[in-house]
Structure 1
């Protein structure tokens, strides 16, 4: 099965307006490792981020959000964002979707585009957790239930 990809077109006015980028989701194991590394970097910085668990992987990163990068040591943050941006490729001719190449610094002329593209890449990797958030709450409740106790939804 192919990794999920999305095409995004820069909506903001400016030199990058209309440029098309393709973002490819990391393989699951790699994405989970990247998520854990992000969480560990934030924890190592001493930031007080409620609910932060270094073993939570991508699900924990989704819960904390993109702001986690602001809590990190700049060197670690740069490395983790650089890893995320390796998922982005450029589609130089929007009419020819078959032609793509890796993102290069020279492809982005506007600072706003850099942040927007980082947000889009981050969202591709964590947005699916938003829809299953309630499942994590139920799973957590079930894991905390004593083995001899009936499940929380068992009839009385």
Structure 2
């Protein structure tokens, strides 16, 4: 099965408006490893990060959100964001979407600083958004299991 891909179009006013990018999800193994590394870097900062569970991998990263990067030491943050952006390619000619520029080439075509932040958020969302719906299911399941364990004891059979 192919990895999930999305095509996004830069919505910001300026020189990058309308430029198209393809973002490809990392493999599950790569994404989990990347998520654990993000947590380790966030935890090493000593900052209190809501939802932070260093062993939670990508699911835990989804709970913490993209704000986890603000807690990291700058060089580690840059390294992890660079790893994330490796999944971004650019469509230089919308009339020929089969030709893609890899991230190293695509970044030379980006002219506006907000475009970089927007791509970071779009790539992050692709990798973690599916956990948001699952998280609600786990919360409900946890609640139900807790109620089952704390409910009244059934009356003994007579």
TM over 0.5: yes
Structure number with bigger Rg: 2
Question: Where is the helix percentage greater, Structure 1 or Structure 2?
Answer: 2
Pair 1:111 & 2:107 matched: no
Number of equivalences:
150
CA RMSD of aligned residues (A): 2.1
Shift of 1:136: 2.2
* C-alpha distance in structure 2 between counterparts of 1:98 and 1:77, whole Å: 32
Pair 1:36 & 2:15 matched: no
Q: Could you tell me which runs of 5 or more consecutive residues in structure 2 were left unpaired when the two chains were aligned.
A: none
User: How does the TM-score come out when normalised to structure 2?
Assistant: 0.87
Shift of 1:137: 2.0
Do the aligned partners of 1:41 and 1:76 also contact (CA within 8 Å) in 2?
yes
* C-alpha distance in structure 2 between counterparts of 1:122 and 1:51, whole Å: 17
Shift of 1:39: 0.6
Pair 1:23 & 2:19 matched: no
User: How does the TM-score come out when normalised to structure 1?
Assistant: 0.88
Q: Provide closer, same or farther for how the CA distance between residues 151 and 107 of structure 1 changes in structure 2, counting only shifts above 3 A.
A: farther
